[in-house]
Structure 1
Amino acid sequence: MSIDPTIGRPLQSVLKPQRIRAALVRQVGGPFIVEDLSLSPPGRGEIMVRLHGTGICHTDLVCRDGFPVPLPIVLGHEGAGTVVALGDGVESLQVGDPVVMSFGSCGQCPNCARHQPAYCHSMVPINFGGQRWPDGGTALQQGDRPVHGHFFDQSSFATYAIGQARSAVKVDPDLPLHLLGPLACSMQTGAGAVMRSLRLQRDESFAVFGGGAVGLSAVMMARHLEASHIVVVEPVAARRALALELGATAAIDPRSTGDVVTALREATGGGVYRALDTTGLPQVIEQAFQALAPNGLLGLLGVSAPDAQLPVRIMDLVLRGAGVKAILEGDSDPQTFIPQLLALYRSGRFPFDRLVRTYPFEAINEAARAAASGEVIKPVLLFGA
């Protein structure tokens, strides 16, 4: 790959497709299959990134197991690495910059203009469509056959990835780049849900249902915001213990607690002012809502079954002045929020690395199994130099 020595930019006319290793999903519910592919040079507004590490998120597993995405596809959307090539028109980044690759957005719709890219009007086709947006096609090929990619504007289950420059966040070079990928989705989602979506204030009570990467990120943010009570409802004992270490004031095992709603009210002195569900399960969402104090707010960000209904009566909402808010990506603008999280990490107030266990890229199926079983909170795949 040639680089213009005078400006450090690639010479687009001489760039050729990059040979990469990537994990493909070829059938619904099938394994990740690591194969050789080629990746076309970045187009206008795009960058090519050599991956150092990428997290495995629940959304990757949901899409592997049937959430509608075109097949075959390369998934992965929590990538971090080094910029190795720039497409035409990219001015915000340089070759050699370390970056976290986050979700895609159009940059032009009213919500993007308001710095609310998580609610981009084209969020679904950009992030789940399996092709470049808006022009179509794919940068991934196997021989003469196209392979779907551009998942969340990256498809980072690969040694190299293409994404829009506006979706990538430049980070300081002294940070552990191989561990930063989960900030792109699960960790900014949990932390952002507390800080930006629910707007938790000092001395307010908070409960989170689910102690995975999203839930524990929410716990760390609630502690930073000095919530009066921070309660985690989680069946896995090790996760409850870690939640208490990270700042939770109480941890409830829903399997051994006869009445979770009563337990929450007792733990918070009458009810929870802000609650967050990460499970997507209607029966859990009902418990979270019933535990709300008057004028409380429940955030929803779990992936529910397509036909699931909200288990809340309108009169219950009205009589308590309670609210329910659906949340995408923690209402985050990655360009501003990821640097905020990294500043908290440097100060010791957001130790997200405690949630991580690393695996070599070739062990992706082992890592995915550990994530699905709950054995590991946040698997991160590492790529060789």
Structure 2
Amino acid sequence: MRHAAVMTEPREGAPDRPSPADCAGLALLGGLPPPLLARILARCRIARFAPGEAILVRDQQNESLHFLLAGQAEIHFDLAERSRPIPIPAGRMFGEMSVIDGLPVSAHVLAGTACRVLLVPAPVFWEEVVTAPGAARDIMRQLSGLLRADALRLTEALRERLKHEALARELTLAREIQMGMLRQPDDWFPAERRCDMAALIEPARLVGGDFYDAQMLGPDRLLLTIGDVAGKGISAALFMVRALTLMRAEAAETADAAGIAAGVNRALAADNPASMFVTLLLAVLDLRSGEVSFANYGHLPPVLLGPEGGAAFHPLPANAVAGIMAGAQGATGRLQLQPGDTLLLYSDGVTEAVDPGMTQFAEAGLLAALREARPADPATGLRAVSAAVARHAGAAEQADDITLLAVRWNGPAA
């Protein structure tokens, strides 16, 4: 919505003087004697507002009584919040309290549709309308009714706002719990010198469906996992927690990537009435030899970074996703790392990030960011990719979770 200043001049081509026909049925004006009404209207004007345009702006002075002749306006107590606005139908008067008490406007009034508004200047209200026989009593009666109705609407708006704030607090707590389940890179295997690791996750919403993990399978084998649950929000977050928990449980019982991934898939598919699914990529790095074994359920292929700055995708079939069919088989593969090589796992929130023109960052953008950065360590590489995605996206809203996980093999004797 455009937060324009209060319109002070009528649009070009629009009539700047109202007629008695415009006032038919209007509270306060409709019952006035024709000579008095004509005298009043001669000092008034009509303004037009486009959808989304501000008619009144909170904390600004208002010098006119407003009558909505056509269209629908909306009262917003706070434009930053997403609570439901209070509608103002055609024929309704507004702005009267700021005219009566002389204080700034207490809420924003925006044009919900194209609006035609009769503006009665404050001096006309006090000199002509209020002094009309019986008008003061009618004004008090009508203002009382309007205030009662506004009080009810305000109460409902405040109730909606409290619900919104309570949900926001719950989601913030859920995010803290979810992020707390992910291992923090600073705490990963501090005594292990044969590898360096880094991870980064940026949910598109307060909670998301991406996850990563790393754990040791015995003294010499490192398991890396990255997952991306289909969908976003609370449902994806719950499925993510379940997948991560199952993966850790399987890793405690199974020694290889393919067996762990297959066990997670079976467990997810066995109790999945909503038919949700997750893409899952597991990599087991042998810290003695640098050999990596993969198991992949529908995830994107990893990237291999050489110590001299080269970056390329390691081909890996996607096969089926995890969580739908208990017997689905994931793709497997192997890769031999050399000392100084870095393996990067990522989610599609990286490559599918779009700019305002809907152009994707894409695989080429990911490789270009890594080659340009020539990172000295995994953490530097992840920061470079995140910054490149942000530059590409610009003002575009983040549409999907962004997750990165990287490990550099330093060699068996590091």
Shorter-normalised TM-score: what interval? under 0.3
- TM-score, normalising length from structure 2? 0.22
Higher relative contact order (Cα pairs below 8 Å, separated by 6+ residues): 1
